[in-house]
Amino acid sequence: MTDWSVCFILSVMTNSKIKKSPRERIIETACDLFYKQGFHATGINQIISESAVAKASFYDHFPSKDELIHDYVFEMSKRDFADFCAEIDEYDTAEERFYGPLHILGPWFIETDYRGCPFQNVVSEIPLKDERILEMIKKHRARERDFFRQLGKEYIDERSELSDVDPDALADMYELLFDGAIANATAYRSMDPVESAIASLKNYLGR
């Protein structure tokens, strides 16, 4: 690649970022850094530098880094669920969509170098005396569980032999297996917990 083409690409990337409002740039940068590095390991000066905003502008929007964590959790929840649904929609059958959330974890682990669930990471770093964060994470988990119930219900409706399966009990089990698989796969940098979760679901459904 020539020097001028590299400069052109960098210029486009920079201009694209600057077109966003200072608040948008701060949140976008914080989402990237908090997830990759962790909340405590990320300093305000780094966020200011990488989001290309003035220090005064940062503090106009966020009096402290603790205030920024709320927007981080909200934004990550929105992104996480939108990406999640988009990937599952790519599957053709109800059975593929049902097991889809677990199957897509493999590429995600590789892409993020087994960084894990942003919400599990937040809980490990931030005291949950903060009711706003706790409430946002609860809402995210509830939406996730409802999505598992929807996938399970579609799968049950498609298979007459699964007619006696309770969609709510299945959703509760799925959520526990899903979150546990992420936590253990992250801890051991292995896909084995994900494979075990899939096997547990199939065993539960008698398949």
* Burial group, residue 2, by CB count within 10 angstroms (0-12, 13-18, 19+): exposed
Q: What pLDDT score was predicted for residue 19?
A: 77
DSSP secondary structure of 64-82: SHHHHHHHHHHHHHHHHHH
Domain with CATH 1.10.357.10 in the chain: 70-207
Amino acid letter at 188?
Y
Give pTM, 2 decimals. 0.85
Domain with CATH 1.10.10.60 in the chain: 20-63
Contact (Cβ atoms closer than 8 angstroms) between residue 131 and residue 139: no
pLDDT-based confidence at 128, cuts 50/70/90? low
Q: What pLDDT score was predicted for residue 130?
A: 80
DSSP secondary structure of 110-159: HHHTS---HHHHHHHHS-TT-HHHHHHHHHHHHHHHHHHHHHHHHHHHH-
Share of the chain above pLDDT 70, in %: 90
pLDDT > 70? residue 146: yes
What is the CATH number that goes with domain 20-63? 1.10.10.60
4-48 tens-digit pLDDT: 443 433 344 444 455 789 999 999 999 999 999 999 999 999 999
pLDDT-based confidence at 50, cuts 50/70/90? very high
pLDDT-based confidence at 183, cuts 50/70/90? very high
Q: What pLDDT score was predicted for residue 10?
A: 38
Average pLDDT over residues 156-183: 96
- How high does pLDDT run on average in the chain? 90
Q: Which long-range contacts (CB under 8 A, 24 or more apart) does 126-132 make?
A: 126/39, 126/69, 132/70
Tell me the two tokens of residue 169. 């009990």
Neighbours of 118 (CB within 10 A): 21
51-88 tens-digit pLDDT: 999 999 999 999 988 889 999 999 999 999 999 999 99
Question: First-to-last CA distance in the chain?
Answer: 52
Amino acid letter at 206?
G
DSSP annotation of 189 reads T
Contact (Cβ atoms closer than 8 angstroms) between residue 39 and residue 60: no
What is the CATH number that goes with domain 70-207? 1.10.357.10
Contact (Cβ atoms closer than 8 angstroms) between residue 144 and residue 184: no
